[in-house]
Structure 1
Amino acid sequence: MAPVTNQGEQTNTVAAIDCGTNTIKLMIANLPDVLVRETRMVRLGQDVDRTGRLADEALARTFAAIDEYAALIEQHPVKRLRFCATSASRDASNADVFVAGVRERLGIEPEVVAGHEEARLAFDGAVRNLREAPKTPVLVVDIGGGSTELILGADRPEQEFSMDMGSVRMHERHLHSDPPTAAEIAAATEDIDAHLDRCPVPAGDAATVVGVAGTIITLAAGVLDLPTYDRERIDQSVIPVAGLHEFTERLLAMTHEQRLALPYMHPGRADVIGAGALVLDRVLRRTTVETLVVSEADILDGIAWSIS
Structure 2
Amino acid sequence: MELFKLFGTIAIQNADANEQIDDTTEKAKDSEGKISGAFKKIGAAVGTYFAVDKIKDFGLNCINAAADANAASSQFTQVFGDMESQASQSLANIADNTGIQVNRMKGSYTQIAAFAKTTGMDTSSALGLADRAMVAVADSAAFYDRSLEETTESLQSFLKGNYENDSALGLSCTEVTRNEAANRLYGKSFQDLAEDQKQLTLLQMVEDANAASGALGQAARESDTWTNQTGNLKQAWEDFQAVLGANVLPKVVEIVGKAAEKVQDLSKKMPDILQKFKEWSPLIAGVVAGFVTLKGVMAISGLIGTITGA
TM-score, normalisation: structure 1: 0.24
User: Looking at CA atoms only, which structure, 1 or 2, has the larger radius of gyration?
Assistant: 2
| Structure with more of its chain in helix, by fraction | 2
TM-score, normalisation: structure 2: 0.24
